[in-house]
Each structure stands twice: as structure tokens, then as C-alpha cells.
A and B are shown apart, each in its own frame.
Chain A
Amino acid sequence: MISFAFGKARAARLDAEGRAAAQNRTLWGDALRRLRKNRLAVVAFFWIVMMVLVALTGRMWVPIIFGDVMYPDSTIAATMSRLPPSWQHPFGTDSLGLDVMGRIAYGAQMSLSIGVIATMISTTIGLLLGSLSGYFGGLFDAVIMRITDMFMAVPYTLFTIALLAVLGPGWVNIFMAIGLLGWTSICRVVRSAFLQVKENDYVSAARALGASDFRIILRHILPNSIASVVVYSTMSIGTAILSESALSFLGLGIQPPEPSWGLMISEGQTWLASAPWLVICPGAAILTTVLAFTLLGDGLRDALDVKGN
């Protein structure tokens, strides 16, 4: 009797544990648990959160701490020009006497917004065309694949430069150019995920039950292939930030006096020998931010068990 009661209590406990575990046993629950164990990915995540906060709130507090970082005060510019890093100016000052750290904080807004919006554009286009192409195949697929071939035959940088030369520089045009030209790789990722998932029995079952193409894509295939999209988009935010910095470096991106990390590097190039912090600091901002997106993407890939290249 006692042993029975004990057994019952144990069974109830096991049952509760089982149910609690079952509640977490979704793909995303599992992934989150695994991601939390990846220390690099966690650090990367918090770095990104910090950068996003700086980008969102920077315009409010940067001028109070570092003074005006866009328009120099000409009366003191000469004495403030290219001061090495100090307590007052942790990253030094640039040739106009503006605080480099403050300008980097301003630039975070440019880089992150362009990275995120460009990725949203390229992911939307890639997801749409990739899923249709993978699901329907045939002529549509052939045409889309030839278009992606075309984009791959010409270096990406060259295409963005040409498109920006047509559109002209500016914030909107940069994320348009990066987003409109960056969809081909995500399109291929989605297409191959669709080709794999399409063969599963549950898709045939759904079709046998009379589900429409639209419903099969949206309810059955997409949820099972979205993991690779999430991984790829995370990394592609970093890539978009790199593209923006390259375009701004070449003078086609963000225009002065608005600070952008790439533009700051190109402005600092002249003083590379005498004031290396003008190049090193904005570059380090790009490196750490892009690295954070790369590491988070890597972590997500391991956590979601997506097969990468």
C-alpha cells in the first residue's frame, strides 16, 4: 500500500516533469535553451542589444556628453583638432575637433538601420521568390535561377556601386541598393529548403486532404524551412553593415556631415600616420558589431541544427 502510494506520487511527479518538458519541446524552445549555453552567442546578443540602444537613444544623450558631433565650433576647432585619446575624449577627436566616440555612437544609427532595413527587403524578396521557385519549379524556377546566376556572375560590390550611381547617394538609396541586390543568396537558401521539405509525407498528406497550394506553403512547408532563413538573415544584417561601410568609404553612401562608420574611416585615411585612432576606432565598431551578428548567426545555426555550408 505504502509502496503503491509512493509509486503513485512518483508517477505524478514524473508526469508533471514530463508535461513541463513537453511544453518546452518546441523547436524554438529547444533552440533557445541550446543558444543560452553558447557563451559567445550570448555575449554577441548583448553587444547587439547595447548597440541597438545606442542607435535608438544616441541623439538624445551624445550631444550632452561629447558636445556637438556634427557641426564643429570653428572658434576652437584648431585647438581641438586630432587630439589623441584621453579621459575626456576616449577615442580622440577628428580633424574638425569633433569627438570620435560621439560620432561612432551617431554612426551606429546609420549602420544598424541600414543593416536591418536592407536585410528586411532582401529577406522579403528572397523568401517570396525562393518559396515560389522551390514549390512550383518549372519555368518560373528556371527564370529565377537564371536571374540569380546573373547576379552571381558580376561582383556584388560592382552592382551596388552601379545602382547607387543611378540612384544617387543617401540613406534610403543605400538600403534600397543593398536590399534589392542582396536577395539572390537568401532566395537560393529558401528554395533548397523548400525542395527538401516538399518531399515529406506530411506535405503529400496535406495535399491529399485537399489543402490549397497557398495553405501548404504557408502552414506546412514554411514553418519547417524558416530556421535556415532566420540564421541567414541574422548573418546578412552583418553583411549589409559591411556593404554600407564599403559604399560610404567609396563616397557613394552616407554623405557628410552625417557620420557613418565607413565614411569616418575614409576621412581618417589621410591622417593614418599621425592620428591612427581616426581609422582604428570606427573600424573596431564595424568589426565588433558585424562579428556579433556573425557569432549570433553561428550560434543560432547550431541551436536550430540547420545544416550550413
Chain B
Amino acid sequence: MQFVPVFIGVTLLLFAMRAIVPGDPIRMIAGEKSIPETTYRIIVERNHLDQPIYIQYGYYMGDLFHGDFGHSYQKGRDVIEIFADKFPSTASLALGAILIEIVVGISAGVISAVKKYSFIDMLLTLSTSILVSMPVFWLGMLLQSIFGIWLKNLTGGAISLPISGSGGPISAYPTFLHYILPSVTLASVSLAFTARIMRSQLLEVLSQDYIRTAYAKGLSKRDVILKHALKNAMIPVITFIGIDFGTMMSGAILTESVFSWPGVGREIYLAIIQRDWPIVMGGVVIIVIIVMTINLLIDISYALFDPRIRYGSKKAD
């Protein structure tokens, strides 16, 4: 398991960054005002900030193993509590985006592979190139101005979508509508990659001998593609979607910024700007755990798609 070295590496790197970053975090909490010397001492001692950096690292790791992610410098709350607040909105956004990615990405990839070199294939391939070349935040703003402003004015409010994460306590829209534009934005780049990987994998599988055999048996094109080809072309696609899901679960800073979405990514971004290191550390540790767990699940899921891959005591050849 590669988990342990990666985990130690990431935490060490963050500690090193914290050590060289300019600015005293405690003085930054106080802002313009001066801070009483006794209070300062208390905060320093509580966070072990007077110790050498490797001792601080030891304290931090020790606390982590007790399930203590630390305490925010500025918000006066436990880090784990802050993320427990933010995580549901990130997770639900990620779920919406991953659904779009799976449905649209895979179908676009399959269509372009089946209709190889046709007009629709070229159109889809060019669209995926355009999507991966687009700044995500720009796409978000375009969607906002099309659905939130332009269409709304054009149709007198009949067709419009909410342009931010929450409409306040009284929203003019049902909750699920708030998800549409952010999840499309978040899914855009990934669905383009999914479509590309799906297309190239499927094309490779379709040139195999057993596909010719399947056709020779008299199976219809539909059956050959759905039952024989697709399953065998799936593994790289699943790998990509899985990794991508891990990335989405760890927050989407840009999408969250454009749509004022109260998620994990934005929280960590703000913490970096404000030098609130316990939040940054805790957030990254949580991200690493999530990403690693999802990677493990992807590995296990291979066995579902390819019976040749088996885990357990019996040695696979």
C-alpha cells in the first residue's frame, strides 16, 4: 500500500511550506490591533509554536492518530467541525458532476467510436478539444450570463436558472435547480476527457479478433458493442472517472468561487490566503484520505469488469 509514504510526504511538505511562509499567523488574526503578550503566549503554547518544527510535526501526527485535526487559528472552531459543515455541499456537487460526466462523457465517446470519422465524430472530437481548452471559471460565467441573465430577460423569467450556490433562506428556485449550472461547469473538462478516453479505448477493442468473431457469429452491431466491446474498453475509463471523482470530492476551488458555493475547496483556498494553517493541513489530510480510499475502490472495482483480475489468497497468473 502506497498510502503511508504519500501521507507522510504530503504532511511534511505542508509543514515545510508553513515554516518558510512569511507572516506570523497569530499576529494576522489580530489584524491591525496589537495583541496582549499573555494572550500571545497562550496561543503559542497551545499550538506548540515555540517548539522546533520537527517537534511540532510530531505533536501534529500524534493528535491526528487520536482523531484530532487541530483547531483553527481564526475561527475558534475545530477543523474537523468546519469540514463536516462544508463537506455535504462539496459531495453533492461532486455527485451531480460525476453523473453528468458518466452519462454524457461515455455516450459521446461511444457514439464517436461507433461512427468513426463521420461528421458527428469530428464534431464531438472538436467539442471535447474546445472543452478542455476552456478556463472553467469562464465557462461558469458564460453559463451564468446565458441562463441567469440573457435567457431570463429574453423570456421574461420563464426560462432561467439560479446562478449561485444558495438563494439565501428564501430562494426563488427549487433546491435541485441550484445544482445544474455548477455541476455542468465542474463536469465540463472531465467529461471531455472521459469521451476521449472512451473513444480511443473502444476503437482499440473494436479492432480485436474476438469482435470479428462476434460479428461472424451473426450478432447485431448493437449486441457486439454493448455486450462484448464496451465491457472490455471500460477499465481505463473507470480509472479516469474514479480519480476524477476523488479530485471533485476534494473541492473545486474555481467552480466554487464562481458560483459562491460553500464547499471544501473554497474553504481551503481562503485558509491558505489567511494563513490559517490548521485548516489547510486538516483539509489536505482529509483530501489525501478521500483520494486514496477512492483509488483503492477503483482497484477493487476492476475485478467486476475483468474476471481475470482477482484479489485474495489465490494467486492470479
Whether A273 contacts B135 by the Cβ 8 Å rule is no
Q: CB of B30 within 8 A of chain A?
A: no
Could you give, for residues 280-314 of chain B, a 1 whenever the CB lies within 8 Å of some chain A CB and a 0 otherwise? 10001001100110000000000000000000000
Q: Write 10 A-B pairs (CB below 8 A) sorted by A numbering.
A: A40-B126, A154-B284, A157-B254, A161-B269, A161-B272, A162-B17, A265-B141, A269-B258, A286-B138, A287-B133
Given A150-B13, A166-B21, decide whether A279 and B141 contact each other with a Cβ distance below 8 A. yes
Inter-chain CA distance A291–B288, complex, in Å, is: 32
* Residues of A259-285 whose CB lies within 8 A of B: 262, 265, 269, 272-273, 276, 279-280, 283
Contact flag A153-B291 (CB < 8 Å), given A265-B138, A273-B149: yes
Q: Assess whether B177 is interfacial by the CB under 8 Å rule.
A: no
User: Contacts of A269 on B, CB cut-off 8 Å?
Assistant: 141, 258
* A273 to B129 alpha-carbon distance, docked (Å): 28
Is B149 in contact with A162, judged by CB distance below 8 angstroms? no
Minimum-distance CB pairs A-B, first 4: A283-B138, A290-B133, A291-B133, A150-B9
Q: Are A279 and B138 within 8 A (Cβ)?
A: yes
| B contact face: mostly helix, strand, loop, or mixed | helix
A242 at the interface (CB under 8 A from B): yes
Contacts of A276 in B (CB 8 A): 145
> In the bound complex, how far is the Cα of B142 from the Cα of A262, in angstroms?
14
Is A115 at the interface (CB under 8 A from chain B)? no
Write the B1-16 contact mask toward A (1 if CB under 8 angstroms, else 0). 0100110011001100
1/0 per residue, CB under 8 A from A, across B132-155: the answer is: 111111100110110001000000
When the two chains form their complex, are residues A279 and B145 in contact, meaning their CB atoms are under 8 A apart? yes
Give the chain A neighbours of B273 by CB distance below 8 A.
Answer: 165
Min CB gap A83→B, angstroms: 19
**Count, chain A residues at interface, CB 8 A:** 42
Contact between B137 and A265, CB atoms less than 8 A apart = yes
* A149 on interface, CB distance cutoff 8 Å: yes
Q: What are the residues of chain B within 8 A of A158 when measuring CB–CB?
A: 250-251, 253, 265, 268-269, 284, 287
Binds B, one of A19-27, A97-105, A245-253: A245-253
A279 and B10 CA atoms in complex are apart in Å by 36
Main secondary structure of the interface of A (DSSP, over half): helix
Q: How far is the CA of A293 from the CA of B130 in the complex (A)?
A: 11
A294 located at the interface, meaning its Cβ lies under 8 Å from any Cβ of chain B in the complex:
yes
A155 contacts which chain B residues (CB < 8 A)? 247, 250-251, 253, 265, 287
User: A223 an interface residue at 8 Å Cβ cutoff?
Assistant: no
Given A153-B10, A154-B250, output 18 extra A-B contacts at Cβ < 8 Å. Answer: A146-B5, A149-B2, A150-B10, A155-B251, A157-B253, A157-B254, A158-B250, A158-B253, A162-B272, A165-B273, A250-B254, A250-B257, A262-B135, A272-B141, A272-B145, A276-B145, A287-B135, A294-B133
How far is the CB of A284 from the nearest CB of chain B, in Å? Answer: 9
B contact residues around A246 at 8 Å (CB): 135-137, 254
Is A52 in the interface zone, CB < 8 Å from B? no
Q: Are A287 and B130 in contact (CB under 8 A)?
A: yes
Asked if A287 meets B138 with Cβ closer than 8 Å, knowing A154-B10, A309-B197, the reply is yes
Considering residues B13, B137, B138, B291, which has the most beta carbons from chain A within 10 angstroms of its beta carbon? B138
Contacts of A280 in B (CB 8 A): 142
Q: Does B216 contact A (CB under 8 A)?
A: no
Task: Indicate if the CB atoms of A150 and B20 lie closer than 8 Å.
Answer: no
Given contacts A150-B9, A161-B272, A291-B129, contact A265 B17 (CB under 8 A): no
User: In the assembled complex, which residues on chain B have CB atoms less than 8 Å from the CB atom of A265?
Assistant: 135, 137-138, 141
Residue of B nearest to A297 (CB): B129
